[in-house]
Each structure stands twice: as structure tokens, then as C-alpha cells.
A and B are shown apart, each in its own frame.
Chain A
Amino acid sequence: MIEQGSRHGSVSRRTLVRGLAATGTLAGIGMPFVARAAEAIRIGFPTPVTGPFGAEAKDQIRSAELAVKQFNEAGGLNGRMAELLVRDDKLNPGEAATRTLELIEKDKAHFIVGALSSAVQLSVNEITRSRKVLYVSISQSDTINEARDFSRYTFHEALNPHMTTAAVAKHAFKKGTRVAYLAADYAYGHEMLRGFKRAAAAIGAETAGEILHPFGAPDYSTFMPRLRSMRPDILCICNFGRDQANSIKQANDFGLKKAARIVVPVLLHNQRLAGGADAFEGVVGASNYYWRLEETVPSAKAFNDAFRAAYANAVPTDYGAYGYTAVRSLLMAVKAAGDTDTDKVVAALEGLTYDVAKGPERYRACDHQAIQSVLITESKKKSEMQGEADLFRILEAEAGSEAALRTCDELGHRA
């Protein structure tokens, strides 16, 4: 009797399974719409996390992630959130090309931002332009603006050597000034050297001599006697990263700072920290950003305050700020385009004027170089510093101007 009742009253196992399958099918039908509506805006970010520029790379990542966070907190693009995909390019052009290819082909990145060396930047650009992916590069380079390397998908948000050296020379050089150059023997050093010489010629400053040092050299002692024998008024040191700290420390050790003023194209935050206040005291250079800009520029104040809130009261560094301005401007263009379609975003970015950290910026139509201000900074004496982040004094802020760039014609772009 019990047995009889059970058999008649229960739902069969086969029926149950069939029902579940039907439910699953219904859910599956709905899935594509849900997935498509929520698709993230993926920004690939190749940068040399390991190696000698590691400190600069990490600052860029932090700033870029802040820009993404702000975009997402504001609602994203109609609910679509942005996502930063960081990859280590090891400061190697081949590695950077591979990582960029993976970001585009495998991770389906919509846009690429990054690179922290001239050679790596050009390598990333080769990949992005051949695949018609929008790339905002954030390392100093004159080459990327030139017609040969340019494409309509290529944007350059960093200062370039021409802008930087022109601004520093205008501040530091006078007619008759004798300038000796110590430059790293690679693309960056060559471009800075060329920029300074061009500016010096226009101003009437003389070249007292020049030395190209091996990239990454730890010891500069054997270059110092010859630099001293040139009897310069200004010693102009064109290198980057650890090379800057090492060369300035050693020039200081050799007493060259007593005889000549030391000038660099870009005065680097992290290298000033590593080199110390004494070695860097009085060194003058250019910078794209310094946190004290907040005293005169409201957007700098907003950026600094957001950065302090996100990163335990730290302030953004110079090269770090590029990560923010590049990603912020890109996401503003995405918002203006209303879509992640590359052609629409390119058009929006070309037409954009933005002020997110350092005053107004825009991309010039012919070469997509960001027209922006250049700060001239001087390293402070230890006794003048108010707090450990107070490294520099802003001597000048030269407003962004197309006159500071090489002409479109000169770069090989047809009108």
C-alpha cells in the first residue's frame, strides 16, 4: 500500500531533468544581451614594471587606475565600466610588441595607452597602427610625431623633446652661453641633444663640447675631466631614469656644479628622491607636472586631492601624471563619442579640449601631439623643503602653444 502510493504520487526523475534543461535553455537565450550590455571598456597598458624605469612605471599605473576609478564612479559609459589591463614590457621593444599583440588579439583591448621609452613606444605604435587600434603614447619622443611613424590612430600625450628642450633653453641659455652636453647614446639622448642644439643656435649660445655616454652606465668618473676641460657655463645632461641620478651625483662629486650650472631636459621626481637633495640642489629642468601647480591651477588641485585620497596622502609624480591625463582624455573622448568604436573615438579625441590636471590641453590635428604647458622646475635646497614631497620650485610655467612645436610641414605631414 505504501509502495503503491509512492509510485503514483511522485514526479519522475526524467520529468525533473527535462524541466531543468528547459529552464537552462531559457536563461541561455537571454545571456547574449546581458553580456553585450555590460561589456567592459578595456584599456591595455604596456609599461616596464620591472627594470630601471620601474618606479616611473608604477606611478603611471597608479595615476591611470585613478582615472579609471573616477570614470567608473561617474557611471561609466551608459553603465559600461572601464578596465585597465597592465602588462610588463620589460623596457624591451620586442617584449612590448608581444604584449601589445596579446592585449589586442587575446584580451580584446579597445585602446592602448602607455610605454615609457622612445624605442618601446615606436614598437607598440607599429602594432597598433597596423591593427587600427587607438594608441595614446606617454613617453617623450620626437619620432612618433613624424609622418613616417604617425597614423590617425596614434596620439602622443607626453611632452616631446623639441617642446622640452626649447622651454629649458629659453629659460637657461643666453647669447654667448657656453654649453657642454653629456647625453645618453640612444634615441632619447639623441633627440634631446638635437633639440637643445637647435634651441641654442636660435638663442646664440655656443656648444663647448659634447659627450655621448653608454646607456645605463653606472660610472661617469671618466667623462668628468673632459667635461671640466670644456669650461662650460652650463652642463646639460640628457639622460633618463637611474642614469640621471648617477650622472648628477657624480658631477656633483667632481665639483662641476661650482663651475657650471647643471641643466637637464626633464627633472625627474623619482630620480631626485634616489639621488638626494644635496646632489640635485640647484639643478634646473622641465617637467610636465609637479604637484605644487595646485597653487595656481584648479584642475591640479582636484587631481592632487583625488590622488591623496586614493593613495595615503601621496602626491602624483611627473611621469606618473601622464598615466592620468592620457587615460582621462581618452575616456572623455569615449564619452563624447558615446561608443568604443575606434573611428568615432579618434574623431572625438581630435576635437577634444580638456583640462584634467595641468590646464587646457588639446591634440594638434596633423600629428596628434598634445599641446600643453611646460613647467621649468629647480631642485630645492634641503633647508628650503617644506615636507619630503616638496622637491622642486616652479620657476616658470610656459603656456601650451603650437609655436612650441615643430611645424606640420617640417614633420612631413601634408596639409
Chain B
Amino acid sequence: MTLASLDLELIAMQLFSGVALGAVFVMLALGLSIIFGMLGIVNFAHGNFFMVGAYAGVFVMERTGSFWAALLVGPLMVGALGLLIQRYLIRPLAGRSPDDPLLLTFGLGYVLVEGVRILFGSDGLPFATPEELSGVADLGIGYFPIYRLFVVGVVALVLAALWYGLERTRLGLIVRAGARDPEILRVLGVDIQRLWLWVFGLGIALAALGGVLAAPMRSVNPEMGTLVLGEAFAVTVIGGMGSLMGSVVAGLLVGIVVSMTALVAPEMASIAMFAFMALVLLIRPQGLFGKPGLGV
């Protein structure tokens, strides 16, 4: 094998790893992006809901032994928690300064971390990769974990479902209209409060789904959500606040940037994401797909 072909294979493999990592970033950012885009709420507890999702996955897994049950029930459990939070904590703040839900969710993040510590302890918990998704697949350019390919597949499915739901259904039309002009929608007789309730719950459930998907790859511990907020926020800002398409493109781009940085200067891999964000904001303050004037 010549050095040249080895380098080409390594670069190709690195790019593929970047796309797969990008899919993880997309999953992390989706919930944050939906809640901000549709509701105008910056959810500072986003990373912690991701963490609670991972714990919900562990909880269901321990009781059923089934990863598939954890993947389905975990996000639903946390989504239900999201509904309660929207109904009793977020909704009373309607009509007030945008800072108020920001501060609320910031504090909520601490409550979630300490709550998990009380219930499950400070130690990490094991979450093994399910048997049927263990092992590696030979892509020709190199080996890649089957589980990560599965994650890419799930993310693609979720994106397709969201796209279809928002763009091709009557409910999606109502949601988009509500995001654009809630007052007119209220005049037209739509119960906007119920709508916001379900959108918030959906955003939280998606964050939790990210947590369950991440559990086999990262150890499950109370601090695992800390970095997630930063990652999700970087992706959301790059994509443009409020743009789902933006989250997808930005997530993949960030994954590739981090991956190629890891190839040439691995110690800079984490910083690369935020450097890229700064670069995008300098050139295009509203983000790649954001609307001008929708300030951060």
C-alpha cells in the first residue's frame, strides 16, 4: 500500500467520521432549535434534558432489557416531563421579557442535575451497545461502528419525519403559522397555548432521544449534558436561530470541521467548533439559514 493511497483512505475515513459526528450534533441541536424557532424560548436546560434522557434510557433498559423499548419510552417519559414544565413553569411567563424563560431554564438545569444525583447517584452508569448493533462494518475505506451507522439512520428518519410533519401536514402548517404570527392565529380560533405545549414537549423529547442514542457511546453520568448545551448552541447559531434546515447543514459542517481538525491538530478539536461559529457570525450574523433581524 503506497503512502499516497493510505493518506487518501485516511482522509476519506476522517470525512465520513465527520459526517457521522455531524449527525450526532444535528440530533443534539434539534430540540434546542425547535423550541427557539417555534416558541422564541432559549432553553438553557437543553443539555440537562439530554442527560435526563440518557438516564431514562438506563431506567427503561434495566426494567425491560430492551434497547428498543429504551429508545421509544425514554424520550416519551422525558417529553411528558417537558409538558409539565411548559404548562406550570414556562406558560406563566408568557408576555414577559425573553430573559425570564432563559433564567428559568438556566436554574432548571441545576435542578435536573441534582435531581438525577439524588435518584441515581454521582457515579456513572453502564449502558452497553446493544448486541445486534455491536461490531464494525467494513466500508471499504475503513471500519466503522455499526452502532454509529444506526445513529445516522435514526437521525435521518427523525429529520424526514419532522420535515414531513412541518411541511406536508395541516398541523405543520398551523405550527409554522403560529411561529410567524401567533396573534392572527389566535384570532382565527386556534388554541395557541395547546399548540405551544406540544411543540415544547416535542423539543424536550428530541433532546432526550439524543441522550438515549448517546448513552452507548458516552458514559451516562450527571455531568454529561454540560458540554452538550455548548455544542447544540454552536450548531443552532451557525445554522441560524429558528431554522431546522440550518441545524442540519450546520451540524454536518461542524462535524466535518471538528473531524478534519482532529486529523491535523487533535488538541484543537473542541475549539474548532467555536472558532467556526465565530467565523460564521462575522460573515453572516444571522447564521447560514437564519432570517435577518431575528436577533440572538
**Does B126 contact A213, Cβ atoms closer than 8 Å?**
no
A81 interfacial contact with B, CB 8 Å: no
CA distance A245 to B124 in the complex (A): 9
Q: Would you mind naming 29 contact pairs between A and B with Cβ atoms under 8 Å apart?
A: A185-B267, A211-B266, A213-B266, A213-B269, A214-B271, A216-B227, A218-B224, A218-B227, A221-B20, A221-B148, A222-B14, A222-B18, A222-B21, A222-B269, A223-B262, A225-B142, A226-B266, A229-B10, A249-B216, A249-B218, A250-B217, A253-B147, A253-B148, A254-B136, A254-B143, A254-B144, A254-B145, A255-B145, A274-B125
Query: Please, which residues of chain A bring their CB within 8 A of the CB of B78?
Result: none
Which of A48-56, A171-179, A198-206 forms part of the interface with chain B?
A48-56
Query: Please, which residues of chain A bring their CB within 8 A of the CB of B21?
Result: 219, 221-222
Query: Please, which residues of chain B bring their CB within 8 A of the CB of A242?
Result: 124, 219, 221, 223
Distance in Å: Cβ of B151 to nearest Cβ of chain A: 10
CA distance A229 to B147 in the complex (A): 21
Query: Please, which residues of chain A bring their CB within 8 A of the CB of B218?
Result: 218-219, 246, 249
CA distance A270 to B143 in the complex (A): 30
CA distance A250 to B144 in the complex (A): 11
A347 interfacial contact with B, CB 8 Å: no
**Does A224 contact B223, Cβ atoms closer than 8 Å?**
no
**Does B17 contact A224, Cβ atoms closer than 8 Å?**
yes
CA distance A246 to B224 in the complex (A): 11
Which of A115-123, A275-283, A296-304, A324-332 forms part of the interface with chain B?
A275-283
A212 interfacial contact with B, CB 8 Å: yes
A228 interfacial contact with B, CB 8 Å: yes
Query: Please, which residues of chain A bring their CB within 8 A of the CB of B271?
Result: 214
Residue numbers of B with Cβ under 8 A of A are 6, 9-10, 13-14, 17-18, 20-21, 24, 122-129, 134-136, 142-145, 147-148, 216-221, 223-224, 227, 258-259, 262-263, 266-271
**5 additional contacts (CB under 8 A) given A221-B259, A222-B258:** A216-B227, A219-B21, A246-B218, A255-B143, A276-B128
A217 interfacial contact with B, CB 8 Å: yes
> Chain A interface: which size bin?
35 or more
Chain B, residue nearest A54 (CB): B122
Query: Please, which residues of chain A bring their CB within 8 A of the CB of B267?
Result: 185, 212-214
Distance in Å: Cβ of A52 to nearest Cβ of chain B: 6
A60 interfacial contact with B, CB 8 Å: no
**Does A221 contact B135, Cβ atoms closer than 8 Å?**
no
A271 interfacial contact with B, CB 8 Å: yes
Query: Please, which residues of chain A bring their CB within 8 A of the CB of B259?
Result: 221-222
Given contacts A214-B269, A250-B217, whether A270 and B14 have CB atoms under 8 Å apart is: no
CA distance A58 to B128 in the complex (A): 25
**Does B126 contact A273, Cβ atoms closer than 8 Å?**
yes
CA distance A275 to B220 in the complex (A): 9
**Does A229 contact B6, Cβ atoms closer than 8 Å?**
yes
**Does B223 contact A52, Cβ atoms closer than 8 Å?**
yes
**Does B219 contact A246, Cβ atoms closer than 8 Å?**
yes
Residue numbers of A with Cβ under 8 A of B are 51-52, 54-55, 58, 185, 211-214, 216-219, 221-226, 228-229, 242, 245-246, 249-250, 253-255, 270-271, 273-276, 278-279
Given contacts A219-B21, A222-B14, A223-B266, whether A253 and B217 have CB atoms under 8 Å apart is: yes
Distance in Å: Cβ of B117 to nearest Cβ of chain A: 9
Distance in Å: Cβ of A283 to nearest Cβ of chain B: 14
Query: Please, which residues of chain A bring their CB within 8 A of the CB of B270?
Result: 214, 217
Query: Please, which residues of chain A bring their CB within 8 A of the CB of B266?
Result: 211-213, 223, 226
**Does A255 contact B136, Cβ atoms closer than 8 Å?**
yes
Chain A, residue nearest B221 (CB): A242
Query: Please, which residues of chain B bring their CB within 8 A of the CB of A52?
Result: 221, 223
Query: Please, which residues of chain A bring their CB within 8 A of the CB of B224?
Result: 218
Given contacts A185-B267, A217-B270, whether A249 and B219 have CB atoms under 8 Å apart is: yes
Chain B, residue nearest A185 (CB): B267
Given contacts A212-B267, A224-B17, whether A51 and B262 have CB atoms under 8 Å apart is: no
**Does A51 contact B126, Cβ atoms closer than 8 Å?**
no
Distance in Å: Cβ of B225 to nearest Cβ of chain A: 10
CA distance A221 to B19 in the complex (A): 11
CA distance A242 to B259 in the complex (A): 21
Distance in Å: Cβ of A237 to nearest Cβ of chain B: 13
CA distance A228 to B14 in the complex (A): 11
**Does A274 contact B217, Cβ atoms closer than 8 Å?**
no
**Does A275 contact B14, Cβ atoms closer than 8 Å?**
no
Distance in Å: Cβ of B46 to nearest Cβ of chain A: 15
Query: Please, which residues of chain A bring their CB within 8 A of the CB of B144?
Result: 254
Given contacts A214-B269, A217-B269, A222-B14, whether A253 and B219 have CB atoms under 8 Å apart is: no
Task: From B17, B123, B263, give the contact of A221 (CB < 8 A).
Answer: B17
Chain A, residue nearest B127 (CB): A276
**Does A226 contact B14, Cβ atoms closer than 8 Å?**
yes
Task: Name which of B127, B227, B266 has the most chain A CB atoms within 10 A of its CB.
Answer: B266
Query: Please, which residues of chain A bring their CB within 8 A of the CB of B124?
Result: 55, 242, 245, 270-271, 273-275
Query: Please, which residues of chain A bring their CB within 8 A of the CB of B219?
Result: 242, 245-246, 249, 271, 274-275
Distance in Å: Cβ of B71 to nearest Cβ of chain A: 17
CA distance A216 to B271 in the complex (A): 12
**Does A55 contact B17, Cβ atoms closer than 8 Å?**
no
Distance in Å: Cβ of B3 to nearest Cβ of chain A: 11
CA distance A223 to B269 in the complex (A): 10
Query: Please, which residues of chain A bring their CB within 8 A of the CB of B13?
Result: 225, 229
CA distance A317 to B252 in the complex (A): 41
Distance in Å: Cβ of B16 to nearest Cβ of chain A: 8
Query: Please, which residues of chain A bring their CB within 8 A of the CB of B122?
Result: 54-55, 58
Query: Please, which residues of chain B bring their CB within 8 A of the CB of A250?
Result: 217
CA distance A350 to B139 in the complex (A): 60
Which 9 residue pairs are nearest across A and B when measured between Cβ atoms?
A274-B124, A222-B262, A276-B126, A255-B136, A225-B13, A253-B145, A222-B259, A214-B270, A245-B219
Distance in Å: Cβ of A282 to nearest Cβ of chain B: 15
Distance in Å: Cβ of A360 to nearest Cβ of chain B: 32
Distance in Å: Cβ of B110 to nearest Cβ of chain A: 11
Distance in Å: Cβ of B130 to nearest Cβ of chain A: 11
Query: Please, which residues of chain A bring their CB within 8 A of the CB of B217?
Result: 219, 221, 246, 249-250, 253
CA distance A102 to B221 in the complex (A): 31
CA distance A223 to B270 in the complex (A): 12
